[in-house]
Structure 1
Amino acid sequence: MSAPTTQTREPIVNALTIDVEDYFQVSALASHFPKDRWSSTECRVERNVHRILELMHQHEAKGTFFTLGWIAERYPKLVRLIAMEGHEIASHGYGHERASDQTPEAFLADIQLAKVVLEDIADCEVRGYRAPSFSVGYSNPWAHDCIEAAGYAYSSSVYPVKHDHYGVPDAPRFPYPVAKGLLEIPITTVRRFGRNWPVGGGGYFRLLPYPVSAWGIRKVNAEDRRPAIFYFHPWEIDPGQPVVKEASAKTRFRHYVNLEHTEARLERLLQDFAWGRMDDVFLSATRI
């Protein structure tokens, strides 16, 4: 009699996402870099995205690049390269305006413009949108209707955590339908002690030891049997970026701490998990 075989599960493919913006466009530094200075400020996004593409190629990882329309217009070859290498082009809006700081009309115009610009440059359909600073929440419930009206199939604009600048702590932790035909795909959290804890990247990935993020992703994969959504920014692998000494101590801590370690941590992340595009991970077989 032959020995019984043990059935093993295929590893879950998680969604790797990159918010393509430059260091001077982050919301926390907005007062130091007004928009009329953007065009005359040193851009570093191109070299940083090229490095990210190299790392992803080395580790056979695919991902989704939520790209600003402002960036795409200035670096169209970069956007085309991202698409040519098999990654998803998605929208981060045009001018990195927080959704919660806009009227519905202005917000709709911004995300429509970004979609048109990105689709024209990349020559592909743009199905996903992510609001700057996860700025869809309690104050602007109309935002999802605008995102659907602009023609997007999914949004990744809600972070179900408590944070001083964003967050909807009681939002679902996993993808859920919002406006007609629109899926909201929140950044990954783990549930502990009656609250959600962030393990999906960003500043938490830099500020906390790498094993914290790895543990959270493994927990979601193993216990929830769900793919994780991880995000970061090109400027987070760039310790040589200019330092705004006039920024508050809190902002400097959040923005600059551990920049010199992020690329190595990202390499570990690419080695330790399987990564794919948001549309492939979630829209090909919707998980609700």
Structure 2
Amino acid sequence: MNGDTGQRPPGLGRALPVFTVDVEDWFQVSAFDSHVARDQWDALPSRVERNTDRLLQLCADTGARGTFFTLGWVAERFPALLRRIAEQGHEVASHGYWHQRIPTISESAFREDVRRAKAVLEDASGQRVTGYRAPSFSLTDDVLWAARVLVEEGHEYDSSRFPISRSGYGSANASRDPHVLHTASGPLLEYPPAVWPVAGLQVPVAGGGWFRQFPSWLITTGLAEVLKGGQPAVFYIHPWEIDPDQPRLPVGMVTRIRHYRGLAACDRRLEVLLRRFQFRAFDDLRASA
């Protein structure tokens, strides 16, 4: 594994705003791992289908097209949802099967997870799945072997290398530009979530919790500046982020703020953002290369 290349090579697409959804349920986020065991998932009230349908409606209303990085666990239980995503013209990609952070599992377990997810997603959606995003952006410097496994399991691109420094995830030394991860089994195209460099700081404007915590003008300005710099502006959201009525778990203060703050306004803010930019999917970006 040779890691990140230096300058951006040709053929990785042009400066487009890219809308992505990490399709997982409210109880499947990494911050809740110590509160909800995997063997409890089937017993909890699922809200992922209704919330994802709301995101699909927002896309239809605003003309946005996106890439839906979906858990294999979700696809296996809600195959009709995957068919709706595909039938409404969106790209289906993989978020793994079990939402396990890569550093917490072995190479063989990771291979089994991504292989199972890809098969389930392709069967449910009728699409060929070529993209991957690691749970919690956990394809970090310590586990770059995972890029080789992804190539060997039929993936062509990844969007997991968040070029920021943050406890729990982030690859501070990764390039902000689209680049190639060279592996012994072939290349993997890497599309980092959007980061706006300001006064020596790397400001994450890619969405998720940052979208709910930061003021709207900062996210909008940052995405516009990324596009102005000639890079794709990759934005992401989770279905549970537009659901202020989701069940609450007894988590610590930091997790409570990160997870629950801003939920009530997120749907409205997201609609405004989708109308501001003409968002596309990763396959649109790659087709434009």
TM-score normalised by length of structure 2: 0.92
Tell me the equivalent position of 1:181: 187
Tell me the equivalent position of 2:231: 226
Question: Are 1:249 and 2:253 counterparts?
Answer: yes
Tell me the equivalent position of 1:130: 133
Higher mean C-alpha displacement, 174-183 vs 114-123? 174-183
- Asked whether the equivalents of residues 13 and 273 of structure 1 are also in contact (C-alpha less than 8 Å), the reply is no
**Counterpart of 1:182 in structure 2: which amino acid?**
L
How far does residue 196 in structure 1 lie from its aligned partner after superposition?
A: 1.6
Q: Could you tell me how far apart the structure 1 residues matched to 2:153 and 2:201 are?
A: 33
**Counterpart of 2:243 in structure 1: which amino acid?**
D
Q: Could you tell me how far apart the structure 2 residues matched to 1:147 and 1:174 are?
A: 20
% identical aligned pairs: 44
Q: Could you tell me how far apart the structure 1 residues matched to 2:61 and 2:266 are?
A: 17
How far does residue 195 in structure 1 lie from its aligned partner after superposition?
A: 3.3
Tell me the equivalent position of 2:80: 77
- Asked whether the equivalents of residues 15 and 228 of structure 1 are also in contact (C-alpha less than 8 Å), the reply is yes
- Asked whether the equivalents of residues 130 and 154 of structure 2 are also in contact (C-alpha less than 8 Å), the reply is yes
- Asked whether the equivalents of residues 56 and 270 of structure 1 are also in contact (C-alpha less than 8 Å), the reply is yes
SS of corresponding position for 1:231: strand
How far does residue 251 in structure 1 lie from its aligned partner after superposition?
A: 0.5
Q: Could you tell me how far apart the structure 1 residues matched to 2:131 and 2:257 are?
A: 31
Deviations along 1:77-123, one digit per CA (max 9) or x if unpaired, are 00000000000000000010111111111101100110011111111
- Asked whether the equivalents of residues 16 and 64 of structure 1 are also in contact (C-alpha less than 8 Å), the reply is yes
Q: Could you tell me how far apart the structure 2 residues matched to 1:33 and 1:144 are?
A: 29
Q: Could you tell me how far apart the structure 2 residues matched to 1:51 and 1:191 are?
A: 32
Q: Could you tell me how far apart the structure 2 residues matched to 1:65 and 1:138 are?
A: 25
How far does residue 12 in structure 1 lie from its aligned partner after superposition?
A: 5.3
2:269 alignment partner, one of 265, 272, 275:
265
- Asked whether the equivalents of residues 178 and 231 of structure 2 are also in contact (C-alpha less than 8 Å), the reply is no
**Counterpart of 1:37 in structure 2: which amino acid?**
Q
- Asked whether the equivalents of residues 79 and 121 of structure 1 are also in contact (C-alpha less than 8 Å), the reply is yes
How far does residue 275 in structure 1 lie from its aligned partner after superposition?
A: 0.5
Question: Are 1:207 and 2:210 counterparts?
Answer: no
Structure 1 residues 12 and 173: alpha-carbon distance in aligned structure 2, compared to 1, 3 A threshold = closer
Bigger RCO (CA 8 Å, 6+ sep): 2
Structure 1 residues 12 and 172: alpha-carbon distance in aligned structure 2, compared to 1, 3 A threshold = closer
Tell me the equivalent position of 1:26: 29
Question: Are 1:236 and 2:241 counterparts?
Answer: yes
Q: Could you tell me how far apart the structure 1 residues matched to 2:236 and 2:158 are?
A: 14
1:191 alignment partner, one of 189, 197, 208:
197
Question: Are 1:276 and 2:280 counterparts?
Answer: yes
Q: Which runs of 4+ in 1 moved over 6 A?
A: none
* Larger Rg computed on CA atoms: 1
How far does residue 192 in structure 1 lie from its aligned partner after superposition?
A: 2.1
How far does residue 170 in structure 1 lie from its aligned partner after superposition?
A: 1.4
- Asked whether the equivalents of residues 148 and 181 of structure 1 are also in contact (C-alpha less than 8 Å), the reply is yes
Deviations along 1:16-38, one digit per CA (max 9) or x if unpaired, are 00000011000001111100100
Task: Count the aligned residue pairs.
Answer: 273
Question: Are 1:45 and 2:48 counterparts?
Answer: yes
Q: Could you tell me how far apart the structure 1 residues matched to 2:288 and 2:214 are?
A: 32
- Asked whether the equivalents of residues 12 and 274 of structure 1 are also in contact (C-alpha less than 8 Å), the reply is no
